[in-house]
Amino acid sequence: MIRVLLVDDHQLIRSGIRRILEDADGIEVVAEASSGEEAITVVREHRPNVALMDVSMPGIGGIEATRKLLRVDENLKIVALTVYAEEPYPTSLLEAGAAGYLTKGCEVDEIIKAITTVHRGEKYLGKEIAQQMALSGLSGGSKNPFDKLSQREVQVMLMITKGQKLQEISDKLCLSPKTVSTYRYRLYEKLGVDNDVELTHMAIRYGMIEKIQ
């Protein structure tokens, strides 16, 4: 029996996926979590085999949560399940240690296939993601300016574009306000923007976020 953990900050989505998996042979949903921080506690308690995890959540988010969860249990297989299909998300999650990546527009059967595939120790990429990464490689790499950011810079960028204040970001990431400010101005420099408004508009233009938060 494959023991699955659902990690998503929307209860409606978790409930929907739970109903799907309840009908699948050999799969049992053993726990749910609404954030990366909660997932860490749940993994220690329930020891799931596979975690289906959203990327954009309050707190540490899916990328950082993936790294932390694998430090808690190196045998855990993590499959990202998110609305984000564009880079740098797939590459960032896979580099953090995720075993699979799906978009929320995938078919029900593909979720089940991804779970069973990663549980066998193999990687699984949704069709859309696999095609995109292949095309990116053939074209010599993506021209998305956000690709040049580190995983931590992407995390800070997403929090800034959600309108979170410096102290709030500092508290959630356990960083000093000075360090967060350094990340912010490093983002400005790398992306060629002068303020948070320009940063947010650029993030929207390249599909990093769907709208101004």
**Is there a single domain that holds both residue 56 and residue 78?**
yes
**Is there a single domain that holds both residue 127 and residue 181?**
no
pTM of the model: 0.65
Instruction: For residues 137-146, give the mean pLDDT.
Output: 58
CATH number at residue 178: 1.10.10.10
Share of the chain above pLDDT 70, in %: 92
Give pLDDT, residue 139. Answer: 42
The pLDDT tens digits of the residues spanning 67-108 come to: 999 999 999 999 999 888 777 788 888 888 999 999 888 888
| Neighbouring-strand partners of residue 50 | 4, 77
| Neighbouring-strand partners of residue 2 | 27
Give pLDDT, residue 207. Answer: 67
- The last residue of one of the domains, among 138, 158, 184, is 138
Helix (H), strand (E) at residue 52: strand 50-53
Say how many C-beta atoms besides its own lie within 10 A of residue 181's C-beta: 14
Q: Which domain range does residue 59 map to?
A: 2-138
**Is there a single domain that holds both residue 119 and residue 149?**
no
**Is there a single domain that holds both residue 113 and residue 163?**
no
Give pLDDT, residue 64. Answer: 87
| Whole-angstrom distance, CA of residue 126 vs CA of residue 114 | 8
Pair type for strands 100-103 and 77-82: parallel
The pLDDT tens digits of the residues spanning 13-34 come to: 999 999 999 889 999 999 999 9
CATH number at residue 67: 3.40.50.2300
